[in-house]
Amino acid sequence: MRIVQMSDVHVGSGLFRQDLLEATIEESNALEPDLVAIVGDLTMEGYRWEFEEARQYFDQLECPNIIYAMGNHDAKNVGYRHFEEFFDIREMSAEIPVPEGVAKVVVLDSTKPDLDEGEVGREHYSWLDSEFRGWDSGPKILMIHHHILAVPGTGRDVNNLRDAGDVMAILRELKVDMVLSGHRHVPYVWSISGVRIVHSGTVSTMRVRGTMPPSYNVIEIDDESVQITLHQPGKGEKGREP
């Protein structure tokens, strides 16, 4: 299974770079992934015109499975209504045929209107259980914008998931293979108790931290291994996490 993971697009920001997003889309199409996972913050302020512009960019993607999660910036200014207009529902599960079988992908909306921090909430715990428990046909993947674990090199960790500990315990119990997140604009991978947590950096803005450039992830999953490769738009592969 091949996944292209990107996040923190921030259409509408003064630091948004159209050329970076267009390069990423072109490179993604060349990779022919099974899934393009866009893990939130498509916009900067949640305005309708920002979502409309983002939709125009992502319509250029060539992939049978393109799945979006909503980020905290998308929830600003009642932006969740525009998200639903242009990108359908905010939460869903999908079953994706892949060479390894059938992948189960669950998307959660962790946002709260006009707040930077996020929360899964107890009302979602039973849903996660019903979607993932007993699934043995292929990889189990959760898409959620907010980070469950702190990301090195991002300063004070003040806006992660409020219920991160409970969520991590549930994912471990359900033997979820991978969590795809964004939010902090820094790519990083944690592997804890069999759960691989993959953060993507900002793909198309200069709202970066330190010397970390804009980037996206390419993830390769087979029956025996997982390989995660960091890519810079227009510059190719820059590093791997085995």
What CATH number corresponds to the domain at position 9?
3.60.21.10
Are 66 and 53 in contact, with CB atoms under 8 Å apart? no
Domain that includes residue 97, residue range: 2-241
Integer angstrom CA distances of residue 76 from 68, 109, 133: 17, 14, 33
pTM: 0.93
CA 231 to chain centroid, in Å, comes to 15
Cα distance between residue 161 and residue 156, in whole Å: 14
Q: Helices 48-58 and 18-31: crossing angle, nearest 10°? A: 40
Residues 110, 55: Cα–Cα separation, whole Å = 21
The torsion angles phi and psi of 68, rounded to 5 degrees, stand at -115, 140
Angle at 107 between CA 71 and CA 79, to 5 degrees: 30
pLDDT digits (tens, 9 = 90+) for 156-194: 766 678 898 999 999 999 999 999 999 999 999 999 999
> Any idea which of 1-15, 128-142, 200-214 has the lowest mean pLDDT?
200-214
pLDDT digits (tens, 9 = 90+) for 114-163: 888 899 989 999 999 999 999 999 999 999 999 888 787 776 766 678 89
Count structural domains, the chain.
1
What are the residue ranges of helices labelled H in 118-208?
Answer: 122-132, 164-173
Q: Beta partners for 236?
A: 232
